[in-house]
């Protein structure tokens, strides 16, 4: 494996991490809420896709189109019923509640699906690749990366070009004044979490087709997502993609030296960025 190939694989892996992170970044940018159950929600969505693929024999790409609206509704309800009540001046309640939710989800998934590790089968696509001489690009990793770019372009269009996006930004700036504009902050937050969960469904597809997963796989995904968001700078979605790519490249480079170093070198890259730029690479100007 050449170094170029290693870097390309890392970049593509970064797309997957950006997908893990985009929803987290969106929600944090709008309501300063860190959802510690984010990784477990990705795993939940992966199991939902698995059920549709194995149970009904659906194509996984079709299954994800069904799971996306389901996850949107789940996210909307989660925010409206539970998380909105935890928002306030104190930052601790949302952390405690989502930490609890993480444990509840893991146990419910264990109960429902056992501890066995599973995989979503994407058929022939799994092994399909494009050979570019020194570099071989797997079709699924490429699609994960392109999906991440598409998700970020889509979310940015929404945030910067639509009335809903203006409401997101205004509510993030000043919820009281947003209320005077006719915006209902709690409803806006529920839509944002719903969108984040729809993105989570896309992330779940590539999580489940790339490697095995089990009910306890969530927290590690949360850490990668978290690191991607922090490296990129809070509130910037392109920053989150850059963060994912840095993490992915660090991991594949580490793994190329010694396979056991993959995870460690990702965390080291994260720490290095934090040391040099504590606010991340592309922090939002207004905060």
Residue 92 or 176: which CB sits closer to another protein?
176
- Please give the backbone phi and psi of residue 122, each rounded to the nearest 5 degrees, phi first: -105, 15
Beta carbon nearer to another protein, 90 or 111: 90
Q: Which is nearer to another protein, 130 or 279 (CB)?
A: 279
How far is Cα of residue 200 from the mean position of the Cα atoms in its chain? Answer: 6
- Is residue 162 a contact point for another protein (CB under 8 A)? no
Rule CB under 8 A: is residue 181 a binding residue for another protein?
yes
Is 115 a binding residue for another protein by CB under 8 A? The answer is: no
Please, which residue, 146 or 173, has the CB nearer to another protein? Answer: 173
Question: Out of 80, 125, 149, 170, which residue is the one contacting another protein (CB under 8 A)?
Answer: 170
State yes or no: residue 32 binds another protein (CB under 8 A). no
Distance between CA atoms of residues 7 and 249, nearest Å: 6
Do 22 and 35 touch, CB atoms closer than 8 A? no
Helices 60-77 & 185-210, crossing angle to 10 degrees?
150
Should residue 92 be labelled a site residue for another protein when binding is judged by CB under 8 A?
no
Q: Where are the alpha helices (DSSP H) in the chain?
A: 3-31, 38-50, 56, 60-77, 84-86, 92-113, 139-161, 163-173, 175-180, 185-210, 218-232, 237-257, 262-276
80 interacts with another protein by CB under 8 A:
no
Report the alpha-carbon distance of residue 272 to residue 180 in Å, rounded.
Answer: 43
Query: Least distance to another protein from the beta carbon of 47, Å?
Result: 37
**275 or 285: whose CB is closer to another protein?**
285
- What is the four-CA torsion angle of 43, 239, 249, 227, rounded to 10 degrees? -50
Q: Cα–Cα distances in Å, from 231 out to 128, 147, 241, 245?
A: 32, 20, 10, 10
Q: Is 69 helix (H, G, I), strand (E, B) or coil?
A: helix
How many other β-carbons are positioned within 10 Å of the β-carbon of residue 37? Answer: 24
Applying CB under 8 A, the span of 14-22, 61-69, 170-178, 256-264 interacting with another protein comes to 170-178
Binding flag, residue 177, another protein (CB under 8 A) = yes
Measured from the CB atom, is 124 or 286 closer to another protein? 286
Q: Which two tokens stand for residue 164?
A: 């809903």
CB of 196 to another protein, least distance (A): 19
Q: How far is the CB of 30 from another protein (least distance, A)?
A: 11
Instruction: Write down the least CB distance from residue 166 to another protein, Å.
Output: 5
**Contact region with another protein (CB under 8 A), list: 1-9, 49-57, 160-168, 224-232:** 160-168
Which residues are at the interface with another protein (CB under 8 A)? 163, 166-167, 169-170, 172-174, 176-184, 286
């Amino acid at each position: 494996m050449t170094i170029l190939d290693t870097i390309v694989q890392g970049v593509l892996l970064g797309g997957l991490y950006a997908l893990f992170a985009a929803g987290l970044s969106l929600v944090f940018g709008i309501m300063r809420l860190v959802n510690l159950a984010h990784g477990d929600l990705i795993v939940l969505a992966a199991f939902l896709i698995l059920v549709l693929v194995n149970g009904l024999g659906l194509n996984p790409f079709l299954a994800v189109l069904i799971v996306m609206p389901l996850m949107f509704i789940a996210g909307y309800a989660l925010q409206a019923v539970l998380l909105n009540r935890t928002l306030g001046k104190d930052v601790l309640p949302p952390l405690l509640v989502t930490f609890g939710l993480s444990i509840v989800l893991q146990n419910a998934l264990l109960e429902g699906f056992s501890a066995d590790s599973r995989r979503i089968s994407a058929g022939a696509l799994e092994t399909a690749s494009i050979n570019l001489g020194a570099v071989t690009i797997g079709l699924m990793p490429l699609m994960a990366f392109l999906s991440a770019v598409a998700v970020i372009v889509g979310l940015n269009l929404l945030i910067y070009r639509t009335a809903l996006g203006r409401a997101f930004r205004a509510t993030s700036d000043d919820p009281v004044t947003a209320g005077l504009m006719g915006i209902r902050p709690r409803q806006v937050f529920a839509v944002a979490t719903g969108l984040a969960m729809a993105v989570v469904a896309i992330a779940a597809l590539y999580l489940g087709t790339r490697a095995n997963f089990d009910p306890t796989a969530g927290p590690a995904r949360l850490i990668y997502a978290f690191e991607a968001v922090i490296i990129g700078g809070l509130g910037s979605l392109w920053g989150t993609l850059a963060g994912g790519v840095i993490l992915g490249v660090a991991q594949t480079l580490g793994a190329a030296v010694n396979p056991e170093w993959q995870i460690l070198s990702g965390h080291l890259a994260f720490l290095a960025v934090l040391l040099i730029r504590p606010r991340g690479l592309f922090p939002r100007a207004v905060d």
